[in-house]
Amino acid sequence: MLKFLKMIKLLVANWKANPETLTEAVRLAKNIDYTGVVIAPPFPFLDGVRKVIHKAKLAAQNVFWSDGPYTGEVSANQLKKLGVRYAIIGHSERRRNLNEIDAIINKKVTAALNNSIKPILCVGEGPELHKSGDHSKVLRFIDNQLKLDLHGIRNPRGVIIAYEPIWAIGTGNSDSTEHVSKVVALIKERLGSVSILYGGSVNPNNADKFMSIAGISGALIGGASLKSSEFKKIISISKRY
Ligand code: 13P
């Protein structure tokens, strides 16, 4: 009976602008095709990956809010028609490198929900704020991102929140369980029982620590999701919870 009540952890593989070829993408996808895994390949590989996965689900790394005359964009409607179930929105790499502001992120979250795509909304503080050591300031910063990014969303429970402290992404320095727990408490206080992922240097050595945090539903994984042996280890760790 307990088995049925257990919520399976969600492991989102954010491949970013990797790998180089469709052949490699397909090979990687086949290796990590497990229940609970969500694969977010770059746009050119979405359809190829879709064709070879059976248990994993598909995510886009970005989404646009409309069809029509928007050169270079891919709409939520197009992604839905392709079978994409999730979309990563507001990743710090897009906020920083493409000036993606909260008003844009809010439009993307809204469009994804309107097209039955589950947004994985990324929030998190940068290195300066982290270095200040002022936890309440960090929480206020995240709270403000949630407020702006989810403006007008009537049912935020349809959104997955990924807490990704920017200073922890790709650095090998993951966050402490104490700090992640404080952020989880803040998110729950503001949004109720939403799913929350942790992201930032998750690997087979620290996955256990993050999976065991109360209120954490899984992880958003960059680098380690490109090495199937590492990612598989994280999958088996996640199955313990
Ligand atoms: P890393 O796991 O490489 O730190 O990347 C995290 C991330 O940005 C996932 O979206």
What are 137-185's pLDDT values in tens digits? Answer: 999 999 999 999 999 999 999 999 999 999 999 999 999 999 999 999 9
What CA–CA distance (Å, rounded) separates 233 from 215?
A: 22
| 20 noted as active-site residue | no
Contact in structure between 165 and 186 (CB atoms under 8 Å): no
Residue 135 catalytic? no
Closest alpha carbon to 211 in 231, 191, 225, 197:
197
CA-nearest residue for atom 1, ligand 1, is: 222
Query: Residue 30, class by beta-carbon neighbours within 10 Å (0-12 exposed, 13-18 middle, 19+ buried)?
Result: middle
CA distance 122 to 160: 9
Best mutation site among 11, 120, 169 for ligand 1, i.e. most ligand atoms within 8 A of its Cβ?
Answer: 169
Atom of ligand 1 nearest to the CA of 201: 4
Q: What is the pTM of this model?
A: 0.97
Q: What is the CATH number of domain 10-238?
A: 3.20.20.70
Domain ranges (residues) in the chain:
10-238
Q: 196-213 pLDDT, tens per residue?
A: 999 999 999 999 999 999
CA of 165 to the centre of ligand 1 (A): 10
